[in-house]
Amino acid sequence: MIGDARLVLIGEGSDGCAEFYAARAHMTRRLIEQRGFCAVAVEADWPDAYRVNRFVRGRSEDATAEEALRGFQRFPTWMWRNTVVLDFVGWLREHDDRVGVESRKAGFYGLDLYSLHWSMEEVISYLEGVDPQAAARARERYSCFDHASGDDGQSYGFAAAFGAGESCEQQVLEQLVDLQRHAYEYAKRDGLLAEDELFYAERNAVTVQNAERYYREIFGGQVASWNLRDRHMMDTLEALADHLGRVRGEPAKIVVWAHNSHLGDARATEMGSRGELNVGQLVRERHRGDCRLIGFTTYTGTVTAADDWGAPADRKVARPALPDSVEELFHEVGSKEFLLWFEVAPPAAEALCGARLERAIGVIYRPRTERQSHY
């Protein structure tokens, strides 16, 4: 099914189902071992995932996979600090140790943009090591955010969106341009390692720029903020592919892990009708023929999720899928597990052409408002 595709997107119908995570990890191991895939890009913040990347490549002070995953502290921690990911990261380190050659190792990366403050700290930290004067300039520009309380970006975004605080849009743009202007000078110092660290710092500066805008947009409209976030993830994915392609001297093959709502094709769903796009759609539009989109879903089962954003994780029972849903139709097939591949099963694709409900359980699951909240 994968053939020679360079981008394989594997989505799941919830953010807390062990079977989805385990199947995805198993598929990804095969793609790395048998098909030459060199990176896993996940729906997680760039600096948190890069700590894992350093560990699997043997560049980290973390002694174990569990330590490397401790960077994931923002809600919902269970998305990446769980036993399946722990085992996969441990395996990836063993794989890279066997490979030995730096440019042939497989990495672990984040695509998301929530890390406003952490990414600012990482830009400054990088510059302190290569250009202290540039670090001072970055610290001055980023001090624009000091008036906002909290470290999640929302307090800044609220104040900036409603005129109660200063917008830092110009400062973060100036910092990105400053870093890019000196990129060649920084990259030529220590070969491949220096180039990787520059790429990490530059993507942090881009993340700060997009996160600043995102936190202003979330108070203006759901569609605009959703589209900004998924465009950022897509741009990060393409920048990563370009970077790894240069390092390896051949096109990079990347597996993407995220929720179905990000990796399916929005044009085929209600999302598209209300003006939302997503990573799956953008990948298909820009890399048609060179990508595969795979999704998981289930009729019922248990899921790790919270009642509200920031609330404790709980083990919840997913209610049986509603009538006239994709999940109910699959359940009626009578097989516990099966793969539906449209290219070899066109009648099945035709059966799904009509409008049907489709369930999405995220980090929050509210069974009492199942229809409104999750379809």
Of 158 and 127, more confident: 127
- DSSP character string of 182-226: THHHHHTSSHHHHHHHHHHHHHHHHHHHHHHHHHHHTTT-HHHHH
Place of tokens 């990836």: 92
Q: Does the predicted TM-score (pTM) go above 0.85?
A: yes
pLDDT tens digits for range 293-319: 999 999 999 999 999 999 999 999 999
Task: Give the distance, in angstroms, between the CA of residue 28 and the centroid of all CA atoms in the same chain.
Answer: 15
For residues 335 and 87, give the distance between their C-alpha atoms in angstroms, rounded to a whole number: 29
Chain centroid to Cα 62, Å, comes to 22
For the CA atoms of 171, 173, 178, 183, the dihedral, rounded to the nearest 10 degrees, stands at 150
- Of 212-221, 272-281, 350-359, the poorest mean pLDDT is in 212-221
How confident is the model over 73-80, as a mean pLDDT? 94
The C-alpha R_g of the chain, in whole angstroms, comes to 21
- Whether 152 has a pLDDT exceeding 70, the answer reads no
pLDDT on residue 155: 80
